[in-house]
Structure 1
């Protein structure tokens, strides 16, 4: 019976797509703040199976990440089996013997949501079946399984129009009827920030991340990037971000080999930039330091602020950069970044500075308006009426939350 319904729904979807009468919609109530979750790729690549995914869901609950706001458990590439005679995608039965529906039921029983991965081309990046020509079948299949999130990649897409390809899958998801967050992953090659606001809930702005501070990892025809190169590639993009449509700086590498200062800076920068926060480490084995970074509720609150304003670079002094993010109720988050390879002492006399954000229309005359501040990571307190003195380790950040006096 289920198979018959899938076939009928799939055929109906094909006819609907052919008629070009599908309304351009995504599920608007999703991702009003950047999505919080976990993804399998950074640590496990193609080595995915239902046992590991169940354990990650358990670990997300046990670690306190669920209580901190994380909700998505996302399976990346390589869960796929073959398509059946009608063209419907199957799971890899060796890795997912219980089937995807049973796995989704388990994840849902933990109060979490399950995400899945596909590709706009004929094959995924790992060579599994892509969704090209099967968009409506795949969307209705995902809906029948209870999927909550679709990451949609861009491999094997020669001569495919990205706007049309992503809009087709968006429409297929909407027609399937189950709200699924739609995460566009075409690496920023076609400037999705200019056209995807009505298509996806987030879009990747760069190529893949790599667990390093300031490096390019060359793979021949493409590169993956460290924390600072990805940060620098966000220049000019903040005006496109907002509730329901986010600039995605890729899954995080916190806990995957950088030092603690670098992990803390990486997490803080992604949070300030209103990027989705998708952990990419092994949640079952993370250190206490990694857990404290990922579950810092004050930093998560900055990321999840309902205004949805991406931070702007306010002051650039070379090794030291200062970013400002307007928050609800007149608060501001201010991040100080030490890009240098050595410890830096830095002083800021607030009263000599003026902050104006032309995009969000916020401004502060610090000589006229005073704020109390709280140090998000170290717990210190102070006032902008006094000079701020910081000693910052190499590759570290300080983050202050300012509240009007």
Structure 2
């Protein structure tokens, strides 16, 4: 009887853990770099090593970036037992050696797979091989898995991602699970128990205010994706984030647009996954990606996603609650022309009803810290007059 009871307790503990994602991961939005936006399928061992090297030398690591994620097209064939291998021509040293190299830089490694028979790039997917692949990733030392949704005919998204979640759990190595089914199956409604972040939209591309129609699907610009986050903030928090896709900073937009793009991803507590060529960054790109004051807003431990408070002509005003009863505010000029506005703090009643937090400017005077100019610029006693260039932002941290 005693033996049966011990066995039952063990079974209950195992079952409980087996059906859970790894906790205490991604307590703030993940930060890193992914190969797809810049390199797509033209990825190899040297590209990934270079990314790791330049993440360190550029100051990105010191600013908080730690994941180096290889996207699609790293795959070779499966071996005679069905275990996945790396493409031998592109990765002659093997994936384990590459991961060890990234780890030697004090960074973490992310890998890519797909819930279907094939990846979006036509490589072997994980369907039917989830537990084998999870064991392989754990053996290699993987820290992060981006799990895509191509070639998934007949599958239910929630169930497919639960299968990989359970496979990762059984493999035993804590791995962040990035759900990438493009928001088609409302992952925000079920993703918290399954993964650590979930894509909310289709793919981004390097345009500020555009949509590129591919026939059966579209790529979206920064503003289009930002608009698609409306109504989703209640689902985000420590360990479970809305993911509006990787960033296009440094991939061809103007400096103003890159700054606005980065700022808004910080304001909405999005994962900060760079997608540019780290080996060939301009100083402007580095300055944007490594703005520690802006990153601190994104990485605030409260983990509250910011919200659009009001619109003044072409300018949107966004607020984000921060720890210690502080706030961040961003004035985003969506227009194609410079905008001049006046904002009188005492006439504004800023309330985050979801979290029952308020910025009462009649009772509290906040100091204004310009996050992009890195200087103090007064307080909220007096109204401010702003001139905001086209496709640009002004962001303040409101300090008590």
What is the TM-score with the length of structure 2 in the denominator? Answer: 0.95
Residue 390 (structure 2) aligned to one of 378, 391, 394: 394
SS of structure 2 residue aligned to 1:197 = helix
Residue 277 (structure 2) aligned to one of 267, 277, 282: 282
Measured in 2, the distance between the counterparts of 1:183 and 1:190 equals 15
Q: Does 1:159 align with 2:154?
A: yes
Partner of 1:201: 196
Partner of 2:94: 99
Alignment of 1:248-287 (within 5 A): 248-287=243-282
Cα 1:238–1:296, aligned 2, differ >3 Å: closer, same or farther? same
Partner of 1:24: 19
5+ residue gaps, structure 1, are 1-15
How far 1:364 moved relative to its partner? 2.0
Measured in 2, the distance between the counterparts of 1:318 and 1:352 equals 18
Measured in 2, the distance between the counterparts of 1:214 and 1:208 equals 14
How far 1:277 moved relative to its partner? 0.2
How far 1:20 moved relative to its partner? 8.6
How far 1:299 moved relative to its partner? 0.4
Encode CA deviations 1:359-379: one digit per residue, 9 max, x unaligned: 111012212221111100023
Cα 1:84–1:294, aligned 2, differ >3 Å: closer, same or farther? same
Measured in 2, the distance between the counterparts of 1:20 and 1:401 equals 45
Does structure 1 conserve the Cα–Cα contact (< 8 Å) formed by 2:247 and 2:273?
A: yes
Q: Does 1:215 align with 2:210?
A: yes
Partner of 2:84: 89
Partner of 1:313: 308
Does structure 2 conserve the Cα–Cα contact (< 8 Å) formed by 1:353 and 1:367?
A: no
Measured in 1, the distance between the counterparts of 2:313 and 2:40 equals 36
Measured in 2, the distance between the counterparts of 1:370 and 1:271 equals 24
Does structure 1 conserve the Cα–Cα contact (< 8 Å) formed by 2:18 and 2:170?
A: no
Partner of 2:46: 51
After superposition, the CA RMSD in angstroms is: 1.3
Alignment of 1:5-404 (within 5 A): 23-380=18-375, 381-404=377-400
SS of structure 2 residue aligned to 1:284 = helix
How far 1:43 moved relative to its partner? 0.3
Measured in 2, the distance between the counterparts of 1:318 and 1:186 equals 35
Measured in 2, the distance between the counterparts of 1:401 and 1:43 equals 32
Measured in 1, the distance between the counterparts of 2:291 and 2:17 equals 42
Does structure 1 conserve the Cα–Cα contact (< 8 Å) formed by 2:77 and 2:124?
A: yes
5+ residue gaps, structure 2, are 1-10
Does structure 2 conserve the Cα–Cα contact (< 8 Å) formed by 1:117 and 1:151?
A: yes
Does structure 2 conserve the Cα–Cα contact (< 8 Å) formed by 1:24 and 1:198?
A: no
SS of structure 2 residue aligned to 1:391 = strand
